[in-house]
């Protein structure tokens, strides 16, 4: 049978059974639309978690000393210069960046102008020194160095901390929202070995100085400030604290696929991996995936019901059109022709339902994003869109509608093809 003749017969059949075709297409559209909507929502929320809430580089491995170490008796545990050299020599390690906490509490009392507002605030701070290469790209290398005594210390702040400030602290205190560029050059007083909540180090001096913001980075300390490593070493020396061992080391693997072997080698050295943030991100992501999967399963069940409805409707149609099918076979239509007519009818219904459902999901997602932007208050990490619709999801939605319809039409089409024209016309 020619394609033009097949198309004409399908059009006439659907026009005659338009009510049944409408409800069948509506069922497909409901299932496909729900599936595309929830999958897009899950992908969008997952993207926000990966890129904004817990941003990380898949090649980074954070190494820390073990919580309990027997030292060299069991083969390691100290993050000293020799251990750092061994870590850098591990197969699959491209670069090594050292970290050292300032081993004393720190407090700041700010009283002055804060971008046009009067601000008086005291707070405790954590301070960590890092190799400048770890935060390259966020700050100019010539500004992130030890400036020497009696000069403001260059610091980086966390972009995530700035996000939290802009959407929680600033509105509640009626303070201005800030961009990273606005903070560059901002000077804050700080006292090392002084705290509002903990006891200072006994016998250690109080070091009063200033810190100057030189940039913001995803890799900066979330609950404090990030200094150049040389500054942390100098401060610890002045405080009489350990300057020989490091608080942590960040390894950069040559590729994400090489991370497991690097992790195994690190553990063989008696050290541990600090993956708390990554595990938290994975747990949150798993919860989002589980919820999305549950909703997607419900959507697939709707598609299955739509396929069953199509099978029932086409079976009834085949029974009602038995004489018509018999006449077509009597005038030369083959069984394949009859089967193709039924499958083509179902394919049109499924394709229309899949397209309508996918378009409805996209429009509903757009509406929700518009309403969220207008009515939802600002909160940390609020995205421009809660959804993500890759081409595979869109095409997959349309394809699922077509597949569900063809699956529902499979048995009715074979039943129609098996019609005996002699018996049908005689009966």
Domain boundary among 234, 254, 274: 254
Average pLDDT, the chain: 85
Number of domains in the chain: 2
Within a domain: 267: no
**360 and 248, same domain (yes or no):** no
Give the residue among 261, 265, 250, 178 at the shortest CA–CA distance from 213.
Answer: 178
- Residue 66: CB atoms within 10 A of its CB come to 16
**48 and 150, same domain (yes or no):** no
Domain boundary among 217, 237, 254: 254
- Percentage of the chain modeled with pLDDT above 70: 89
Q: Compute φ and ψ for 254, nearest 5 degrees.
A: -65, -25
**346 and 416, same domain (yes or no):** yes
Whether 124 has a pLDDT exceeding 70, the answer reads yes
3-state SS string over the chain?
A: CCHHHHHHHHHHHHHHCHHHHHHHHHHHHHHHHHHHHHHHHHHHHHHHHHHHHCCCCCCEEEEECCCCCCHHHHCCCCCCHHHHHHHHCCCCEEEEEEEEECCCCEEEEEEEEECCEEEEEEEEEEEEEECHHHHECCECCCCCCCCCCCCCEEEEEEHHHHHHHHHHHHHHHCCCCCCHHHHCCCEEEEEECCCCCCCCCCCCCCEEEEEEEEEEECCCCCCEEEEEHHHHHHHHHHCCCCCCCCCEEEEEECCHHHHHHHHHHHHHCCCEECCHHHHHHHHHHHHHHHHHHHHHHHHHHHHHHHHHHHHHHHHHHHHHCHHHHHHHHHCCCCHHHHHHHHHHHHHHHHHHHHHHHHHHHHHHHHHHHHHHHHHCCCCCCCCCCCCCCCHHHHHHHHHHHHHHHHHHHHHHHHHHHCCCHHHHHHC
Q: How confident is the model at residue 420 (pLDDT cuts 50, 70, 90)?
A: low
Within a domain: 135: yes
Within a domain: 276: no
Domain boundary among 217, 235, 254: 254
Whether 301 has a pLDDT exceeding 90, the answer reads no
Query: What is the model's pLDDT at position 222?
Result: 86
Give the CA distances from residue 27 to residues 218, 302, 308, 324, 352, in Å, rounded to whole numbers and listed in that order: 46, 7, 10, 27, 11
Query: What is the model's pLDDT at position 120?
Result: 87
**71 and 28, same domain (yes or no):** no
Within a domain: 275: no
**49 and 83, same domain (yes or no):** no
- Beta carbons within 8 Å of 69's beta carbon, 6+ residues apart: 76, 77, 78, 270
**237 and 221, same domain (yes or no):** yes
**290 and 242, same domain (yes or no):** no
**125 and 237, same domain (yes or no):** yes
In this prediction, residues 409-424 reach a mean pLDDT of 72
**209 and 295, same domain (yes or no):** no
Within a domain: 87: yes
What would you report as the CA-atom Rg of the chain, rounded to the nearest whole angstrom?
33
Query: What is the model's pLDDT at position 101?
Result: 95
Within a domain: 377: yes
Query: What is the model's pLDDT at position 74?
Result: 45
Task: Find out whether 55 and 277 touch, Cβ atoms under 8 Å.
Answer: no
Count of all residues that appear for the chain in the document: 427
Query: What is the model's pLDDT at position 149?
Result: 84
**47 and 90, same domain (yes or no):** no
- Percentage of the chain modeled with pLDDT above 90: 40
pLDDT tens readout for residues 165-207 = 888 888 888 888 888 888 899 999 999 999 988 889 998 999 9
Round to whole Å and give the CA distance between 427 and 422. 8
Beta bridge mates, 252 = 60, 95
Q: How confident is the model at residue 6 (pLDDT cuts 50, 70, 90)?
A: low
In this prediction, residues 308-319 reach a mean pLDDT of 78
81-92: burial string, b at 16+ Cβ within 10 Å, e else = eebbeebeebeb
Q: How confident is the model at residue 365 (pLDDT cuts 50, 70, 90)?
A: very high
Least confidently predicted of 123-132, 274-283, 359-368, 418-427: 418-427
- Give this prediction's pTM: 0.73
Whether 12 has a pLDDT exceeding 60, the answer reads yes
**92 and 175, same domain (yes or no):** yes
Within a domain: 277: no
Query: What is the model's pLDDT at position 13?
Result: 72
- Residue 361: CB atoms within 10 A of its CB come to 27
- Beta carbons within 8 Å of 221's beta carbon, 6+ residues apart: 126, 127, 128, 158
pLDDT tens readout for residues 219-271 = 899 888 999 999 999 999 999 999 999 999 999 999 888 888 999 999 998 89
Query: What is the model's pLDDT at position 167?
Result: 87
Range of the domain at 111: 60-254
Q: Strand 117-130 relative to strand 224-228: parallel, antiparallel, unpaired?
A: parallel
Token pair for residue 1?
A: 């049978």
Give the CA distances from residue 227 to residues 189, 214, 219, 231, 235, in Å, rounded to whole numbers and listed in that order: 15, 10, 12, 6, 11
Query: What is the model's pLDDT at position 322?
Result: 66
Whether 112 has a pLDDT exceeding 70, the answer reads yes
Give the CA distances from residue 91 to residues 94, 153, 257, 262, in Å, rounded to whole numbers and listed in that order: 9, 36, 13, 7
More confidently predicted of 342 and 366: 366
Query: What is the model's pLDDT at position 71?
Result: 46
Query: What is the model's pLDDT at position 391?
Result: 93
Round to whole Å and give the CA distance between 266 and 272. 7
Within a domain: 307: yes
pLDDT tens readout for residues 58-108 = 888 999 998 755 444 444 568 999 999 999 999 999 999 999 999 999 999
In this prediction, residues 138-161 reach a mean pLDDT of 89
Query: For residue 105, is it left (φ>0), alpha (ψ between -120 and 50) or beta?
Result: beta
**211 and 289, same domain (yes or no):** no
């Amino acid at each position: 049978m020619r394609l033009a003749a097949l198309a004409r017969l399908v059009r006439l059949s659907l026009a005659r059974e338009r009510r049944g075709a409408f409800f069948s297409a509506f069922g497909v559209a409901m299932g496909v639309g729900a599936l595309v909507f929830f999958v897009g929502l899950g992908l969008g929320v997952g993207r926000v978690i990966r890129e904004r809430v817990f941003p990380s580089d898949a090649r980074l491995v954070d190494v820390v000393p073990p919580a309990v170490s027997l030292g060299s008796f069991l083969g390691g545990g100290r993050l000293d210069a020799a251990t750092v050299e061994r870590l850098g020599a591990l197969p699959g390690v491209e670069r090594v960046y050292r970290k050292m906490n300032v081993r004393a509490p720190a407090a700041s009392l700010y009283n002055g102008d804060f971008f046009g507002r009067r601000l008086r605030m005291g707070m405790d701070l954590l301070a960590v020194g890092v190799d400048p290469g770890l935060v390259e790209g966020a700050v100019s290398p010539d500004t992130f160095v030890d400036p020497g005594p009696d000069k403001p210390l260059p610091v980086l702040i966390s972009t995530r901390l700035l996000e939290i400030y802009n959407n929680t602290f600033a509105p509640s205190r009626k303070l201005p929202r800030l961009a990273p560029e606005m903070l560059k050059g901002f000077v804050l007083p700080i006292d090392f070995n002084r705290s509002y909540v903990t006891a200072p180090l006994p016998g250690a001096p109080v070091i009063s100085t200033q810190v100057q913001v030189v940039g913001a980075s995803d890799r900066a300390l979330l609950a404090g400030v990030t200094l150049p490593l040389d500054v942390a070493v100098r401060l610890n020396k002045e405080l009489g604290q350990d300057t020989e061992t490091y608080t942590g080391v960040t390894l950069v693997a040559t590729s994400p696929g090489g991370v497991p072997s690097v992790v195994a080698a690190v553990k063989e050295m008696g050290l541990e991996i600090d993956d708390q943030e990554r595990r938290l991100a994975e747990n949150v992501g798993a919860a989002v995936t589980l919820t999305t999967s549950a909703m997607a399963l419900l959507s697939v069940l709707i598609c299955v019901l739509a396929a069953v409805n199509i099978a029932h409707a086409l079976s009834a149609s085949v029974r009602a059109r038995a004489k018509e099918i018999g006449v077509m076979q009597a005038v030369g239509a083959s069984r394949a022709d009859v089967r193709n007519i039924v499958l083509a009818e179902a394919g049109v219904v499924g394709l229309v339902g899949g397209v309508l459902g996918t378009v409805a999901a996209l429009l509903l997602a757009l509406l929700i994003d518009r309403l969220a932007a207008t009515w939802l208050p600002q909160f940390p990490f609020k995205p421009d869109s809660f959804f993500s619709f890759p081409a595979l999801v869109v095409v997959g939605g349309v394809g699922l509608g077509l597949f569900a319809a063809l699956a529902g039409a499979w048995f009715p089409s074979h039943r129609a093809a098996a019609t005996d024209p002699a018996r049908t016309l005689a009966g």
